[in-house]
Amino acid sequence: MALPTDRLWKEYLVLLDTMYPKLSAAHEEYGRFRAERFRRLAQLSGWEIDLPYATEISLRYRAHYQKLRRPVPGAPEFVRRMARRTRVGIVTNNEYSEQEEKLRFLGLDGVIDPLVVSAKEQVAKPDPRIYGIALARAGVEATETVMIGDSWKNDVLGARSAGIRPVWFNRFALARPSRHRAEEIRSFRPSAPVEAILRGRNSRARGMHD
């Protein structure tokens, strides 16, 4: 049963959003979970593959991704502009070294503080504790903080559970997954409307990005 490419991509995003290593900092653990995602993706197409083959596919995908990846249009410039005015941090589920490499790739190393990563902290989004760690390191209160993220579960609902105002980066114009409401942006260009949303009712709002 072959699936259209757009359906496979959507299913991969679901797996990406729901499958994370059990808070292990080991690189091998992340590699195994990535391979398992591709094994399950193959199952959806009626294709049974073993973990070693899934690992090979995962590594090929990763290499291709690294070669073709590009910043979200306007996002790095937006982060730099905001960082000149206030404090900008990141809360993410991943390995610390990979997130540091991403920041270097984007030219944002030295701009982001704090960088709070699940593998290092041993707690992952949407658990409100990881947001609490970020708030403590930034020295701010939840009520003066805004979280921008593309995952409804991890970023929108996770931030809300920590008392942080979420803004959903709904780049692909997806339907809202639950009854909860959140302000929404679909692009960082032009930046003025995004900045207006971030200011909201609290002009002192800090930004935390996924």
DSSP symbols for 40-78:
HHHHHTT----HHHHHHHHHHHHHHHHHH--PPTTHHHH
Q: Which structural domain, as residue segments, surrounds residue 14?
A: 5-68
Please check whether residues 30 and 87 belong to one and the same domain. Answer: no
Please choose, from the candidates 126, 131, 129, the residue with its C-alpha nearest in 3D space to the C-alpha of residue 146: 131
Please check whether residues 179 and 84 belong to one and the same domain. Answer: yes
Please check whether residues 11 and 49 belong to one and the same domain. Answer: yes
Please check whether residues 61 and 119 belong to one and the same domain. Answer: no
> Could you tell me if 136 and 112 are in contact, meaning their C-beta atoms sit under 8 angstroms apart?
no
Please check whether residues 122 and 24 belong to one and the same domain. Answer: no
Please check whether residues 24 and 105 belong to one and the same domain. Answer: no
Distance CA 35, CA 9 (A): 16
Please check whether residues 87 and 183 belong to one and the same domain. Answer: yes
Please check whether residues 29 and 121 belong to one and the same domain. Answer: no
CB neighbour burial string for 52-64, b if at least 16 within 10 angstroms, e if fewer: eebbebbeeeeee
pLDDT in tens, 58-94: 999 999 999 999 999 999 999 999 999 999 999 999 8
Please check whether residues 93 and 30 belong to one and the same domain. Answer: no
Please check whether residues 14 and 95 belong to one and the same domain. Answer: no
Please check whether residues 174 and 86 belong to one and the same domain. Answer: yes
Please check whether residues 47 and 84 belong to one and the same domain. Answer: no
At 85, which CATH number?
3.40.50.1000
Among 68, 86, 110, give the residue marking a domain's end: 68
Question: Per the structure, how many domains does the chain have?
Answer: 2
pTM of structure: 0.82
pLDDT in tens, 109-131: 999 999 999 989 999 999 999 99
The least confident of 18-32, 33-47, 130-144 is 18-32
